[in-house]
Structure 1
Amino acid sequence: MGEHAQALDASGLSAAAVTFWTAWQGQVLLGFGALKRLDETHGEVKSMRAAPAARGTGVGRAILQHIIAEALKREYARLSLETGTADLHAPAIALYRSAGFVSCEPFAGYQASPHNQFMRLDLAD
């Protein structure tokens, strides 16, 4: 399954088109997320993660809300994301759906496979 991974490495997360945020409690990293600019009106949620000990605490929701707020500030019309289909992705998928994301077609050169799925949030309204 490694050939289906779409995660950004450190150099990808430091690219000019990517803004990366972290959430901390003291010196403990609770989670992180990133927003990639695809064009003037379209952003991509990248690398959303909550530390295992922080799962279920609202950290993921707070990071996602921050990313959405930043996308609105940038006047993006749409946010998209790519995520997995395995059971371990179910909590993230539920989070995205609760924030209004819906299933969509692949975007930005991604290829569909049985191991990934695509979601979007329309922000233009």
Structure 2
Amino acid sequence: MEVSIAIETPLQDDVRALVADLNAYMMPLTPRQFQFQLTVEEMAAPDVTLFVARDAKGRAVGMGALKDHGRGLGEVKRMYTLPTLRGQRLGAKLLEAIEALARDTQISRLVLETGDAPGFEAAWRLYERGGFAPCGAVLGYPDSGYSKFYQKSIGQ
């Protein structure tokens, strides 16, 4: 499938729809107090860069964000691909775009928090295939047993 990936504003209806789909998927998997979702408005902050994947018709089919925490630390956020397109390496392409921007902006370490429950297996595979390694809790997230944490050092 032909897709293009570009930096875009999250303040678009089709991106809002992706965020709503992601939130709806995650809601039954983890207690709400252990879900750390950026809202669309938070994703529009200057320290967050959103990548949107679009199909040949221009339809938003996936997304992923990089949050810059300063001092060489970046966080992967809001990774999502439409369920009908999973298995086509779209998540890997989004992750590659995030890593490329991280390198370009002097980020040397990427971290992320994802769920640690049935339903998150595809996310774990994506991150592990992308070179991320499990680690302890990061960025003040609680070590609740509902989260799984990953990190990756990236070369400059």
Could you say which TM-score interval applies, normalised by the shorter chain? over 0.9
Q: Deviations over 1:14-33 (max 9, x none)?
A: 11110011001113221000
Q: List alignment gaps of at least 5 residues for structure 2.
A: 1-30
Identity value in percent? 32
CA–CA distance in structure 1, aligned partners of residues 145 and 135 of structure 2: 15
Q: List alignment gaps of at least 5 residues for structure 1.
A: none
Q: C-alpha displacement at 1:54, in angstroms?
A: 1.2
Amino acid aligned to 2:144 = S
Aligned residues: 125
User: Is 1:91 the equivalent of 2:122?
Assistant: yes
Q: Which portions of structure 1, spanning 4 or more consecutive aligned residues, are displaced by more than 4 angstroms?
A: none
Amino acid aligned to 1:46 = K
Q: Deviations over 1:51-99 (max 9, x none)?
A: 1111111111100011011111112110000000112111111110011
In 2, are the aligned partners of 1:34 and 1:48 still within 8 Å (CA)? Answer: yes
Amino acid aligned to 2:108 = A
Q: C-alpha displacement at 1:12, in angstroms?
A: 1.2
Amino acid aligned to 1:21 = F
CA–CA distance in structure 2, aligned partners of residues 27 and 65 of structure 1: 20
Q: TM-score, normalised by structure 1?
A: 0.94
In 2, are the aligned partners of 1:36 and 1:45 still within 8 Å (CA)? Answer: yes
The match for 2:109 is: 78
CA–CA distance in structure 1, aligned partners of residues 67 and 134 of structure 2: 19
The match for 1:56 is: 87
CA–CA distance in structure 2, aligned partners of residues 73 and 82 of structure 1: 23
Amino acid aligned to 2:35 = A
Q: Deviations over 1:96-123 (max 9, x none)?
A: 0011101112122211111101100011
CA–CA distance in structure 1, aligned partners of residues 48 and 91 of structure 2: 18
The match for 1:122 is: 153
CA RMSD of aligned residues (A): 1.2
Q: TM-score, normalised by structure 2?
A: 0.76
User: Is 1:5 the equivalent of 2:35?
Assistant: yes
